[in-house]
Chain A
Amino acid sequence: GIQVEQSPPDLILQEGANSTLRCNFSDSVNNLQWFHQNPWGQLINLFYIPSGTKQNGRLSATTVATERYSLLYISSSQTTDSGVYFCAVERGGYQKVTFGTGTKLQVIP
């Protein structure tokens, strides 16, 4: 099956710092999503981004499908950004979903 690797696995930031999270995938995909899982376990969709660049406030994402990677940018990080960030890729007619390994982010005041 498809492999989805994320880096770095762990990241500690001072509040206000910027960061870039990376997602590499081993095969072509139909779609890619970024999720944030907060410390209480709730998963929230951040971006649906099969290609190109999208921005939402302090967050933006870029997917280069031909090179099989996606990047999530977090600017001016806040403590509420803490949690685990997952990318998830979709393949096949019914968009079978495979989640990545995750990046655990801790933002300290």
Chain B
Amino acid sequence: EAGVAQSPRYKIIEKRQSVAFWCNPISGHATLYWYQQILGQGPKLLIQFQNNGVVDDSQLPKDRFSAERLKGVDSTLKIQPAKLEDSAVYLCASSLESGRGRQDTQYFGPGTRLTVL
């Protein structure tokens, strides 16, 4: 079974530029998560999709971050414009389903390391 795929693996941009990350979850997984992990910290949930609907985006800085999940499969996360403090690893994860007390393991992709200069 193929795992969660992410691209690119590394990205270096200058502040005020825009950047996009792509995630392909495990086939059949209804729930998709985007996390931001700053060096030395635990991952912070940015947005959670159930199929192609958003179920939580309370920690997404909506003035500069956006995410979409078309057709309930692939997802993209965009930052526009980027700030220095956006330097982090962006992790995508997926699970079969979440909600109604179900226990579903999250599978993580390798992450995209973003450096903003």
By a beta-carbon cutoff of 8 Å, the part of chain A in contact with chain B is: 4, 30-31, 33, 41-45, 48, 50, 86, 88, 92-102
Contacts and interface: CB of A to CB of B under 8 A. Distances in A.
A33 B103 CA distance: 10
Contact of A45 (B55, B56, B107): B107
Interface stretch (B14-22, B41-49, B60-68, B72-80): B41-49
Closest 5 CB pairs of A and B: A99-B42, A43-B108, A94-B55, A95-B98, A94-B99
Contacts of A48: 103, 105
Contacts of A93: 99-100
Contacts of A44: 108
Contacts of A102: 41-42
B56 A41 contact: no
10 contacts: A4-B42, A41-B113, A45-B106, A48-B103, A93-B100, A94-B50, A94-B55, A99-B43, A99-B44, A100-B42
A44 B4 CA distance: 12
A64 to B, nearest CB: 18
A43 B43 contact: yes
Contacts of B107: 45
B106 A97 contact: yes
A96 B48 contact: yes
Contacts of B23: none
B101 A42 contact: no
A41 B39 CA distance: 11
A31 B103 contact: yes
B89 interface: yes
